[in-house]
Structure 1
Amino acid sequence: MKAICIIEFPSNLGLKELHPGKEPGVKHLPDWLRKHNLYTALNPETVLRLDAPAYSNQKDVETGILNISSLIDYAIHQSQLITKVLQEDKFPFIVGGDCSILLGSAIALKQKGNYGLFYLDGHTDFMDVSLSETGGVGGMAASIVTGNGHRKLTNILNLAPYIKEENLWCVGNREYDDEYENEIRQSKATYISLEILRKKRIKECAVSFLSEIESKNLDGFWLHIDVDVLNDLVMPCVDSRTPDGLTYDEFNELTFILFKSNKLAGLEITILDPDLDKTGEYTTAFVDNITSAFNKANN
């Protein structure tokens, strides 16, 4: 196992306000996970942090997107930090933040080679801004990094697409709406909803993804984990709650297989909002599960 470098990206730039004047609390996630023993359990060699620019709830007139200039600047600096960690042959274990932090990760991967993306999320996040009520990049992240959307975001540093659309696996969505799902159904990405995942079985899905990484001779893959992929009963501390979701047994089975692969280049955790977990009970359970699976896979 490579030395672990935890990278903190405490950003909420990709989300709308919870209510007027109230920013989402996901920017506090790194400190919250440290408090609840994620860092102790992982025992990283180093911890790095890149604070995000100031949040604004104003939409860009040209694109209809929140915080677009700040997101671009932040993504470039994120990618530089991740690139440095990858060049040192360390494993970047990234703590967000909302799903927009994927932009920095994807840019770094594109600069390094040709990578796949396993997008584990309770939503597809494969949505055009025309369907977005909020203008938040968090709900468009998977689409943007595969080259869909305004070029201000899809072609940062002239690197579009950061991840080829056919190398994206979007897994775990349970927002069943044809207009929403058709965006990714009509793409070249592999789309596996929660319902399909259970029908096909988790192990078969993970093994199939890893086989594709090998058959395409990709340089590796990135794992994006939005905690809202978990069942709402065990992880209600998210911005867009939806009934059902993966149990911890299902989540651990899937992530363990991915954690064990030597093709895994790095991962990121997003969306858990400390403001919505006053006692820390849901965070404690999450930390216990993800670190147990990760450490077991790498021992």
Structure 2
Amino acid sequence: MKEICIVEFTSNLGLKEPQTGKEPGVNRLPDWLWKHNLHKSINPKNIIRVDPPKYSNIKDPETNILNADSLVTYSREQAYLINNLLSANKFPFVLGGDCSILLGVAMALKQKGNYGLFYLDGHTDFMDISLSETGGVGGMAASIVTGNGHEKLTNILNLSPYIKEENLWCIGNREYDDEYENEIRKSSATYISLQELRKQGIANCTKKFLSEIQNKNLDGFWLHIDVDVLNDEIMPCVDSRTPDGLTYDEFNELTSYLFQSQKLSGLEITILDPDLDKTGEYTKDFVNNLTSTFNKHFNN
């Protein structure tokens, strides 16, 4: 049985300012989840925090990306920590932060072997910088970790690609726009939009993914959970709201299949912004659903 280690990556480096002079609030997510009993429910062996460099809203002239240099520095620190945890056969339960925390994680996975990535998100985050209005890595994370984009971020420590494109599964997008979706459609990743997921069925999709991990003999897979994959009515505290999304029944069914797999190497939770959940009601529901499903299945 793997020991669970909660890892707190308090980053907002991958997002634009919600308004001039105001930093995105997702960097306070680990403390917010602690306040709503996630740590107590998961009962980890230990808790480690790595804070990022200072946030800036100025784009890097070389890449046109926000906080590019800081992200490189931070990703290297994150990779070192995650690599050590995986080497010690621990299970990193990572609390973000925005989706850019995936870079350091994916680098560590590459250092350890050949891994799959189950990217559960209301967006594909598979976007070229030319399509990005914000320059935020949060909206390009899946694309960057599979080696697409400026090599300042895609090839840190000469590790590009951190995840092979064909080992990426992008699930739950509901940003239905051809120009946006075509980026991932023309890649060798597996793309299953929310519509398609419901059509194929959650059990079928996850089964297909898990058997692919097995058949390719991958070393394991990482689960990325962006809370904006959830229905906007049950999870409105995100930076980029879109109607529809998974219900908790759907979310719990999907994650329960993944939590049961021996190949699950770790997971991360991103994008819930405490500033947008004043009473904590949405966070409380999320913590209850996630932790009860996780505790029921993990290592059983």
Asked if these proteins are the same fold (TM beyond 0.5), I'd say yes
Match for residue 284 of structure 1? 284
Match for residue 155 of structure 2? 155
> Structure 2: which amino acid aligns with 1:121?
D
Match for residue 194 of structure 1? 194
Match for residue 102 of structure 1? 102
TM-score, normalised to structure 2, is 0.99
Match for residue 36 of structure 2? 36
1:266 aligns with 2:266: yes
SS of structure 1 residue aligned to 2:267: strand
Match for residue 121 of structure 2? 121
Identity %: 76
Match for residue 228 of structure 2? 228
Match for residue 132 of structure 1? 132
Distance between the aligned counterparts of 2:160 and 2:63, measured in 1?
18
Distance between the aligned counterparts of 2:41 and 2:2, measured in 1?
16
1:76-95 counterparts in 2 under 5 A? 76-95=76-95
Q: CA deviation at 1:88?
A: 1.4
SS of structure 2 residue aligned to 1:94: strand
SS of structure 1 residue aligned to 2:169: strand
SS of structure 1 residue aligned to 2:244: coil
Distance between the aligned counterparts of 1:63 and 1:180, measured in 2?
20
Distance between the aligned counterparts of 2:134 and 2:150, measured in 1?
16
> Structure 2: which amino acid aligns with 1:294?
F
Distance between the aligned counterparts of 1:104 and 1:249, measured in 2?
31
Provide structure 2 residue ranges, at least 5 long, that are not aligned to the other structure: none
TM-score, normalised to structure 1, is 1.00
> Structure 2: which amino acid aligns with 1:226?
D
4+ aligned runs moved over 6 Å, structure 1: none
Match for residue 174 of structure 2? 174
Match for residue 245 of structure 2? 245
Match for residue 60 of structure 2? 60
> Structure 1: which amino acid aligns with 2:167?
N
Match for residue 212 of structure 2? 212
Q: Deviations over 1:147-174 (max 9, x none)?
A: 0000000000000000000000000000
SS of structure 1 residue aligned to 2:22: coil
Q: CA deviation at 1:87?
A: 1.4
Match for residue 2 of structure 2? 2
Match for residue 146 of structure 2? 146
Distance between the aligned counterparts of 1:256 and 1:88, measured in 2?
25
SS of structure 2 residue aligned to 1:232: coil
Distance between the aligned counterparts of 1:77 and 1:52, measured in 2?
9
> Structure 1: which amino acid aligns with 2:99?
C
SS of structure 1 residue aligned to 2:221: strand
SS of structure 1 residue aligned to 2:44: coil
**Higher mean Cα deviation, 83-92 or 185-194?**
83-92
Distance between the aligned counterparts of 2:159 and 2:84, measured in 1?
18
Distance between the aligned counterparts of 1:88 and 1:172, measured in 2?
32
1:5-24 counterparts in 2 under 5 A? 5-24=5-24
Q: Deviations over 1:79-136 (max 9, x none)?
A: 0011111111110000000000000000000000000000000000000000000000
Q: Deviations over 1:218-253 (max 9, x none)?
A: 000000000000000000000000000000000000
Q: CA deviation at 1:181?
A: 0.1
